[in-house]
Amino acid sequence: MRARALCGLAAALALLASACASGGGTPAAGTGTPAPSAATGGFPVRAADCTGAETVFDTPPRRIVTSNAAALEMLLRLGAGDRVIGTGFPPGTGTMPADLAERAAAVPVLGRAVIAKEKLLGSGADLYVDTFASMGAMGGAMGAAPTEQEFAAAGVKHVQLHSTACADRLTGPQQDLSEVAADIRRLGAITGTTARAEELVAGMERTVGAVRTALAAVPADRRPSYFFFDADAGTKQPMAACGRQVANAVITLAGARNVFADCKGTFKPVSWEDVVAADPDWIQLGVRNRGSEAETRKAYEQAEAFLRDFPATRELKAVRAGHFVRIGSEVTTIAGVRNADTVLAVARAVHPGLTVEGR
């Protein structure tokens, strides 16, 4: 992964920090990695990493460290937040849902970015939930990540969010939220909160299923092209959200066509000439929450102003028509329960007048 791509990926994965779900999204569809089977909530539970190596849990972990706010939010939603003893990339002001914000803010911060190896291994954790496994080069830039041998010696079990950490290893694009759902189920099995995990996944399925039903009559040739503009990665060279990124699943399920779905991997630096050639119908302004409504709105306005003023983009169809989507980067590019709500929001934006049952 080239340095520019790495910076874009780092920015995307850090969007929940203060710095720096085919068809209805059902977990059985697409390329989803099966989660450990724990229908009865029993142990032992086996969880495979990106290479297929398994970690065995005979009992639920009691002291958990998370690599960033995305993993932290999953554990809070599962009801295992009281076992989280620290996190890296902590949530910035306004990035967590209101009902989780206070509990998230109480979690000790072990690193404003990637947690230093010594601090992680000495934290007393018995489980580390890792979102960044595919970012070995970034980990090296910020300090070497622990080896599996070092994790084992410190008594820390290491599991990964497959939808992000293992995305570069997928054989095809993420076109549904099955990988995200599998991550939720996997953490539910590991933490003994299987029933809650099933509730969360069922809620996501209902939302995405309602969108799928509403879009059933929209033919493929009426599904608009869509560009996720990662404004936070900078404007000198655009960063494309490729087919294996969670955002591709969100865009696809929302009834749009990611103009960079064919590029391999998760993120890739492209040129403005590539964007012009794609000439998208809609552009999402990729902006992270700035901590206040006013500052976030200002960031959206700056991103839109750039596209309207920049010679290479001001004649794009989306720019001339004012087809800008203002939906947070966090809930688009980072795996979580809220990806399903983003599918609904994008669908409503690019299909004006869309009626979704119960919404």
Q: Are residues 33 and 92 in the same domain?
A: yes
Six-digit token string for 354:
């869309």
How high is the pLDDT of residue 214? Answer: 96
Helix count (H) and strand count (E) of the chain?
15, 13
Number of structural domains found in the chain: 2
CATH number at residue 153: 3.40.50.1980
Top pLDDT among 357 and 280 is at 280
Q: Are residues 27 and 173 in the same domain?
A: yes
Q: Are residues 53 and 76 in the same domain?
A: yes
The pLDDT confidence band at residue 2, using thresholds 50, 70 and 90, is: very low
pLDDT over threshold 70, residue 93: yes
How high is the pLDDT of residue 41? Answer: 55
Q: Are residues 230 and 180 in the same domain?
A: no
146-167 pLDDT tens trace: 999 999 999 999 999 999 999 9
Q: How many residues does the chain have?
A: 359
287-346 pLDDT tens trace: 998 888 999 999 999 999 999 999 999 999 999 999 999 999 999 999 999 999 999 999
For residues 35 and 230, give the distance between their C-alpha atoms in angstroms, rounded to a whole number. Answer: 31
Of 205, 231, 262, the one marking the end of a domain is 205
pLDDT over threshold 70, residue 46: yes
Classify residue 22: in a domain, yes or no.
Answer: yes
Classify residue 356: in a domain, yes or no.
Answer: no
Q: Are residues 344 and 256 in the same domain?
A: yes
Of 139, 170, 205, the one marking the end of a domain is 205
How high is the pLDDT of residue 321? Answer: 98
Q: Are residues 17 and 165 in the same domain?
A: yes
Classify residue 358: in a domain, yes or no.
Answer: no
Domain coverage including residue 261: 217-350
Classify residue 13: in a domain, yes or no.
Answer: yes
Distances in whole angstroms, Cα of residue 89 to Cα of each of 6, 30, 172, 354: 16, 30, 29, 37
Q: Are residues 180 and 297 in the same domain?
A: no
Classify residue 63: in a domain, yes or no.
Answer: yes
Among candidates 148, 158, 174, 161, which has minimal Cα distance to 265?
Answer: 174
Q: Are residues 95 and 174 in the same domain?
A: yes
How high is the pLDDT of residue 180? Answer: 98
How high is the pLDDT of residue 132? Answer: 81
Longest dimension (CA), the chain: 60
Q: Are residues 167 and 223 in the same domain?
A: no
Classify residue 262: in a domain, yes or no.
Answer: yes
pLDDT over threshold 90, residue 138: no
The pTM for the full model equals 0.87
227-243 pLDDT tens trace: 999 999 999 999 999 99
Computed on alpha carbons and rounded to an integer, the radius of gyration of the chain in Å comes to 20
Mean pLDDT of the chain: 87
Q: Are residues 280 and 340 in the same domain?
A: yes
Q: Are residues 327 and 200 in the same domain?
A: no
Phi, psi of 254, deg, nearest 5: -80, 0
